Every structure is written in structure tokens, then in C-alpha cells.
Amino acid sequence: MGLELHDLSKHFTVRSDRGRATVRAVERVNLEIPEGQTVALVGESGCGKTTIAKLVLMLERPTAGAVTYDGKSLHEMSRTEIKDYRRHVQAVFQDPYASLNPRLTVRRIITEPILAHYRRDRATLNARVAELLDIVGLPASAADLYPHEFSGGQRQRIAIARALALDPKIIILDEPISALDVSIRAQVLNLLMDIQEKFGLTYLLIAHDLALVEHLSTRVAVIYLGSVVETGPSEQIFASPRHPYTQALLNAVPRPDPDYVPKAAESFDDTGSALEPPSGCKFHPRCPHAMAVCKTDNPPLAKLADGREAACHLLTGPHAVPNA
């Protein structure tokens, strides 16, 4: 069962030049996050990936639709069920300089979630802190230091230890390595892979770095202006992207190869705005293959022959172009 998103929407009301307006940050997203998998949400900044994470963490209430855990909607849960859910779902954020309280010792930081849920005596807590620090590769002596005494990579290890403190089942990783030094990133990535294997964790990964996503994820959901445009096993998506947006994203990724020149999209139209999304398919103003129908009808997310899902008139429906 695990975590599922059903027709999940989140709209924000903002004041604009012409009075109030609605930002459709997340628009009818359906997604399964099966146990033991790493599901990645990818897309440009402002596409709604962090809002989805906030909805899953119950930091925002959905406008419509629901997040369900083991079949039960988060907003129908009782207080004790919510407490259980919060134990099962933890998060590691992008910036370990901002996500650790500078006034607490590492011991307090790591024991805080434990004490929020259980009564434990000091000896048990200290043993647990030592165990967690060992798992993330820090010495036991780190427990009595403050966050500023650590480098970025070490701080991210502390954040990971805190996320592991309650033996969670799911960890939300919001850009877990993008704030770290290049030579440190691999250490933290390897650690994330090791603990996933060791504890059978499920990851929901939010990242804009597609090489990282391919490296870590088993399933991918590509998001454009709040909606999923293509989703499936990551081997499939990376080997043969079908949606024109996924293709544009992958073509743009630079490679450490002097003979490879990434392809710039021909259109100089910038990312559309979630405030005034284009009619029909939201990607049509930037799409090199846009047809008349794309300006009027929004394509539904539909299953393709190979099992993945995509939302594009080229691929499914009466306007589909064979071998597109």
C-alpha cells in the first residue's frame, strides 16, 4: 500500500496586479510511492515539486484530493493515527545550515523527535544517539558539539541521523545534496543508498539534477506546472523519454564530455506561469511538436504500450502520431 496521491491539488490565492488570483501549484496529481522504491519528482523550479512534499508531510492542506497512507486519507486520520504517520514519514531538507537548530547540541537535535513520541531514560537515549551517529559515519564524540562545528557534509549526516531516529518507513529527500560541496556529494549519496538498503526505506526524492535522479531513483514523475506529464520506471524514462517536455529536459543536461553539446530548446519562451497557465496542454507554447488540438484540449495522463504513463496528444488519443 504505502503512500499514494489521489487527484491531489493545492491552489494558493495571491494578490496580483488585477486583484486576487489563484496559483495552481499542484493540479490533480496521482502518484503511487510503492514500498522500498525511490520515487523522484523532477521538473523546473516553480513546478510544484516542493509543494507536493509539503502536502505529504502535512505542512500544507490539500485544496482537493488526498494523500493516503496504507489506504487511509491523512485528513481523516485520528490524532493517534497522525502521530503514527509522522513517525513513519521523515524528511531531509536541502540546506543543512538552515535545517539544524544552531542552539542545540547534536544530541538534542537527534533526540528531539524521539522525545516527542516516547518516554525514554537518558541511558537509552545516549545509546540510541551513539548508534545513529555510527550509522551515518560520525564519531560518538560529535553528540556534544553544535552544528556550526561541522562542515556541510557532516551537517547533512546529522540531519539524516535525525530523520532515522524514529525508524521511519519513508524519507522525503528534498534536494539532499545540492547545497553540498562537489567532492562531498558522493559520500552523502552513498550513505543514502546504504541506509535505504539496510533499513528497507522508501524515498520520495525531489531534485532538479537529472543525473542524480537517474542515479538514485527507481521510478520518476516528471512535473510541469503542477501536473504530472510523464511517469514510469526510471530506466524507461531515461532510456527513451516520450513526452516532449521530458525530452527537452534530458537534452538540456550537460555531460562531462567535451564532444557533447547540450541542445537548447528553440523556443525562447520562458517557463509558463502557474498563475496564468496556458490553455489546453500547459506545455504547448514551448513544445516543438504542438498541434492545433494542444492549444484547446489538455491531454489526460494515459498508459502507453510499455506501461509508463504520459499526458500528450502525440502519444495517445485520436490525434496520436505513430512513432512520435
Partner 1 sequence: MNAPLLRVENLQTHLHLRRGVVKAVDGISFEVHEGETLGIVGESGSGKTMTCLSILQLLPTHGGGKIDGSVELDGENLLDLSEDEMAERIRGPKVAMISQDPMTSLNPVYSVGDQVSGPFLYHKLVTTVRDAWAAAANGLRRVRIPSPERRLKNFPHQFSGGMRQRVVTAMAIACSPRLLIADEPTTALDVTIQVQIMALLRSIQKESRVGIILVTHDLSIVAGLCHRIAVMYAGRIIETGKVRDIYRNPQHPYTQALLEAIPHLGQKRTRLAAIPGQPPNLMDLPTGCRFAPRCPKRMSVCDEYPSATNVGDNHVVNCWLAAKH
Binding residues for partner 1 (CB under 8 A): 44-45, 151, 153, 181-187, 189-190, 193, 208-212, 214-216, 235, 238, 248-258, 260-265, 268, 270-271
Integer Cα distance of 192 and 158 in angstroms: 12
Residue-wise DSSP of 118-140: ----HHHHHHHHHHHHHHTT--G
Instruction: Kindly state the smallest distance separating residue 72's Cβ from partner 1, in Å.
Output: 32
C-alpha closest to that of 220 among 135, 110, 308: 308
Integer Cα distance of 67 and 28 in angstroms: 11
- In angstroms, the Cα distances linking 319 to 3, 37, 257, 281, 293 are 34, 34, 38, 13, 8
Instruction: Kindly state the smallest distance separating residue 44's Cβ from partner 1, in Å.
Output: 4
* CB-nearer residue toward partner 1: 36 or 300: 36
Integer Cα distance of 243 and 293 in angstroms: 16
List the grid coordinates of 57: 508531510
* CB-nearer residue toward partner 1: 93 or 283: 283
- Contacts of residue 19, Cβ cutoff 8 Å, sequence gap at least 6: none
Instruction: Kindly state the smallest distance separating residue 214's Cβ from partner 1, in Å.
Output: 6
Bridge-based pairing state of the strands 309-310 and 302-303: antiparallel
Instruction: Kindly state the smallest distance separating residue 64's Cβ from partner 1, in Å.
Output: 28
Residue 282 CA, distance from chain mean position: 21
* CB-nearer residue toward partner 1: 76 or 268: 268
Instruction: Kindly state the smallest distance separating residue 239's Cβ from partner 1, in Å.
Output: 9
* CB-nearer residue toward partner 1: 190 or 279: 190
Instruction: Kindly state the smallest distance separating residue 138's Cβ from partner 1, in Å.
Output: 13
* CB-nearer residue toward partner 1: 62 or 241: 241
* CB-nearer residue toward partner 1: 261 or 305: 261
